[in-house]
Amino acid sequence: MSKVIVVGGGAAGMLAALSAAQEKADVLLLEKNEKLGKKLYLTGKGRCNVTNHCTLDEFMQEVPHNARFLYSAITAFSPQDMMRLLEDCGCPLQVQRGRRVFPVSEKASDVTRALQAALTQAGAAVRINTEVESILTQDEQVTGVRLRGGESLSADAVIVCCGGTSYPKTGSTGDGDRFAASLGLRVEPRRASLSAVITEESWPAELQGLSLRNTELTLTHGKKCIYQQTGEMLFTHFGVSGPLVLEASCHLPEEVSECELTINLKPGLSREILDQRLQRELSATPRRQLGSIMPSLVPARLGEVILSLCGIAAETLCGQVTRKKREEIAAMMQSLTLHIAALRPIEEAIVTRGGVSVKELNPTTMESKKIAGLFFAGEAIDVDAHTGGYNLQIAFSTGRAAGRAAAKTRES
Question: What average pLDDT does this structure show over 339-350?
Answer: 93
Q: What is the pLDDT of residues 223-268, one digit of tens each?
A: 899 999 999 999 999 999 999 999 999 999 988 888 999 999 999 9
Q: What is the C-alpha to C-alpha distance for residues 379 and 392, in angstroms, rounded to an integer?
A: 9
- Between CA 91 and CA 102 the distance in angstroms is 10
Q: What is the DSSP letter of 351?
A: E
For the cut 90, the answer to whether the pLDDT of residue 45 exceeds it is no
Mean pLDDT of 28-55: 91
Strands 142-147 and 152-154: antiparallel
Q: Tell me: the pLDDT tens digits for 112-142? A: 999 999 999 999 999 999 999 999 999 999 9
AA letter at 233: M
Altogether, the residues listed in the chain come to a count of: 412
Q: How confident is the model at residue 166 (pLDDT cuts 50, 70, 90)?
A: confident
**Class for the domain spanning 3-192+353-406:** alpha beta
- Mean pLDDT computed over every residue of the chain: 95
- Going by C-alpha positions, the residue among 313, 286, 291, 318 that lies closest to residue 302 is 291
pLDDT-derived band at 41 (thresholds 50, 70, 90) equals confident
What average pLDDT does this structure show over 34-58?
Answer: 91
d(CA 11, CA 163): 9
282-328: pLDDT as tens digits: 999 999 999 999 999 999 999 999 999 999 999 999 999 999 999 99
Distance CA 176, CA 376 (A): 8
What integer pLDDT is reported at residue 355 of this predicted model?
96
| Structure confidence at residue 165 (pLDDT) | 87
Task: State the CB neighbour count (10 A cutoff) for residue 257.
Answer: 11
Task: Show me where the domains of the chain are located.
Answer: 3-192+353-406, 196-343
pLDDT on residue 170: 81
CA 200 to chain centre: 24
| 187 pLDDT more than 90 | yes
State what percent of residues in the chain have pLDDT above 70. 100
CA–CA separation, 299 and 307 (whole Å):
12
pTM for the whole structure: 0.92
Q: Are strands 351-356 and 125-127 parallel, antiparallel or unpaired?
A: unpaired
For residue 103, pLDDT over 70 is answered with yes
DSSP characters over 131-151 = -EEEEEESSSBEEEEEETTS-
pLDDT of residue 412: 57
Instruction: Report how far residue 59's alpha carbon sits from residue 75's, in angstroms, rounded to the nearest whole number.
Output: 10
First-last CA distance in the chain: 12
**Cβ pair 354, 178 in contact under 8 A:** no
DSSP letters along 71-103, please? HHHHHHS-HHHHHHHHHHTT--EEE-GGGEEEE
Residue 233 and residue 219: Cα distance in Å, rounded? Answer: 13
Q: Can you give the pLDDT at residue 346? A: 92
Among residues of the chain, what percentage have pLDDT more than 90? 91
Return all residues near 383 (Cβ < 8 A) that are at least 6 apart: 63, 65, 66, 67, 69, 70, 358, 394, 398
